[in-house]
Amino acid sequence: MASSTLPSLTPKTDPPPNFFSDYSVVLSVSLQDAFTTLGTSEGHERVCRLSKLCSGFELFQRDELALPEGKKLCDVGVRTIPTTVGTQAEVPSTINRQHFTMEESVPLFFGMFKSKVQLTGTLSWDGSALSTALSSRTPEALYETVSNGGIIVWKLRTFSQEGDDPNKTRVTERIEGWAPFLLKWIVQSEATKAHRCASYIC
């Protein structure tokens, strides 16, 4: 499997984000099940297809990258980091990254017309975060896309057991993104709706 080491920190979005959204939900499943379904490639297609806008989806290659020491997915954007074949640097965190494309059909003029939007993206996660030896590390998954119109979405999911119940997991999502001014309110509205999809997949 190919690997890549971050040459330097990369921004979450470029240009800087101009819309934001936060959401948190408690799911009646274990931390392992929630993370596997919502945070890895195993459930990624199912999660994306829950969106009413999704009209096409395809998984591509999967690779790895290494975060600099002391950094986490919540600190950076990793979608555009190039992949190189070679030995990884000695770093504490190796990130799995799944590449994908998605097509969305966006209704316009009260649904009279639909516009096709092509998304290119990655889902990245640290699979070792759930191991016993690294139980102090918060499981995170990072969803990043850019559309053919230049709209950028950076969405971080964090997972934690809810209280003392091993069958309840809190999933928190933070969205930061950039869109042209005239489209910003539409994109932010759809991003907020997308939060709710996580409640139905597990």
What is the structure's pLDDT at 190?
74
What is the structure's pLDDT at 3?
55
What is the structure's pLDDT at 89?
46
User: Is residue 197 included in any domain, yes or no?
Assistant: no
The phi and psi torsions of 124 (rounded to 5 degrees) equal -125, 140
Alpha carbon separation from 188 to 89, 178, 199 (Å, rounded): 38, 9, 19
Burial class (CB in 10 A: 0-12, 13-18, 19+), 127: middle
pTM: 0.85
User: Is residue 71 included in any domain, yes or no?
Assistant: yes
> Mapped to the 3 state alphabet, what secondary structure does 147-193 carry?
ECCCCEEEEEEEEEECCCCCCCEEEEEEEEEECCHHHHHHHHHHHHH
Least Cα distance to 179 among 72, 19, 12, 49 occurs for 19
* DSSP label of 84: B
What residues make up the domain containing 127?
Answer: 19-181
What is the structure's pLDDT at 88?
47
Secondary structure class of 96 (helix, strand, coil): strand
* Count: domains in the chain: 1
What's the CATH code of the domain at 78?
3.30.530.20
What is the structure's pLDDT at 72?
87
User: Is residue 202 included in any domain, yes or no?
Assistant: no
Least Cα distance to 36 among 184, 113, 27, 68 occurs for 27
Sign of CA dihedral 10, 82, 68, 1: positive
What is the structure's pLDDT at 184?
83
What is the structure's pLDDT at 152?
95
> Using CA atoms, how far apart are residues 154 and 177, in angstroms rounded to an integer?
6
User: Is residue 190 included in any domain, yes or no?
Assistant: no
User: Is residue 6 included in any domain, yes or no?
Assistant: no
User: Is residue 147 included in any domain, yes or no?
Assistant: yes
Torsion of CA 85, 122, 120, 112, to 10 degrees: 170
Residues 41, 34, 31, CA angle at the centre, nearest 5°? 125
Render pLDDT for 115-162 as a digit per residue (tens, 0 to 9): 889 999 999 998 787 775 445 678 999 999 999 999 999 999 999 999
User: Is residue 140 included in any domain, yes or no?
Assistant: yes
Q: Divide the 202 residues of the chain into consecutive groups of 10 and give the mean pLDDT of each group.
A: 56 91 94 94 92 91 86 90 55 82 80 82 89 69 95 95 95 94 80 62 58
